[in-house]
Amino acid sequence: MIALRLRDRTVAVEPGRPLIMGIVNAGEDSFSDAVRLDTLERQVRRGLELAAEGADLLDVGAESGVTYTPPASADEEAARVVPLVECLVAEGVSVSVDTWKPAVARAALDAGAVMLNDVSGLRDPELAELAASTGAALVLMHTRAEPKREAFPDYDDVAADVEAFLRERVALARAHGVDDEQLVLDPGPDFAKTPEQTVAVLRDLDRLHALGRPLLLAISRKYFLGAITGRPPADRLAGTLAAVAWAVDAGAAILRVHDVAAVRDVLAVKAVLAGRAEVPAFDPGDEELKWIRADR
List pLDDT tens digits, range 233-268. Answer: 999 999 999 999 999 999 999 999 999 999 999 999
Closest Cα to residue 248, out of 234, 264, 232? 264
Residue 146 vs residue 218, higher pLDDT? 218
Handedness of CA 22, 27, 33, 37 (dihedral sign): positive
| Mean pLDDT on 260-285 | 95
On the question of pLDDT at 65 being above 70, the answer is no
On the question of pLDDT at 165 being above 90, the answer is yes
Q: How many CB atoms lie within 10 A of CB 78?
A: 23
Contact 24, 46 (CB under 8 A): yes
pLDDT at 1: 84
On the question of pLDDT at 27 being above 80, the answer is no
Average pLDDT of the residues of the chain: 93
On the question of pLDDT at 9 being above 90, the answer is yes
Closest Cα to residue 60, out of 21, 19, 4? 21
pLDDT at 291: 83
| Mean pLDDT on 115-142 | 97
| Mean pLDDT on 150-166 | 92
Q: Which amino acid is at 287?
A: E
Helices (H), 91-187: 102-110, 126-134, 158-175
